[in-house]
Amino acid sequence: MSDPDLLALSAPLPGGGAAPLADHRGKVLLIVNTASQCGFTPQYAGLEALQRRHGPRGFSVLAFPCNQFGRQEPGDAAEIATFCTTKYDVTFPVFAKVEVNGGGADPIFRHLKHAAPGALGTEAIKWNFTKFLVGRDGRVAARFAPATAPEKLSAEIERLLDA
């Protein structure tokens, strides 16, 4: 069986329920597994800068908190939301905490990892703030390592927005 279309999947909401990714059809997306107690956490500022710069053209960051790496996202949904808004003034969607690896991996991340394997062809996500860039057509265009600063993605985002 082939992987489902990414935009046919739904993202779990912090208060329960789910939001269809189809709501973002036609947008360029940057899907990121995040954590609030990670060395890469300051990337929230860069992600928000991308959102503000490119959002009006049909771009959105989608954040998925994850506690699988060093237990760096221990908070509940309310704590995560408060952290994101008060510390980084985040305006992009922050979904419910998910797993990105293993048997309990969220279907969105299973799809992303299969469509864009990492270094040496491995699908596993190695750490927080792995980034997947998705074109307007819902196809995964690129995968970026946690150490890749969000501001380095602007040219690639603009290329997809212009496509």
* Residue positions annotated with a catalytic role: 38
- Six-digit token pair at 143? 């995968």
Contact assessment for residue 111 and residue 86, using Cβ atoms and an 8 Å cutoff:
no
- Six-digit token pair at 43? 């990337």
116, 70, 94, 18 alpha-carbon torsion, rounded to 10°: 80
Contact assessment for residue 97 and residue 11, using Cβ atoms and an 8 Å cutoff:
no
**Which of 15-22's residues contact partners 24+ apart within 8 Å by CB, and which partners?**
15/77, 19/93, 19/95, 21/108, 21/138
- Nearest residue to 59 via CA among 144, 7, 133, 141: 133
Coil, strand or helix: which one is 135?
Answer: coil
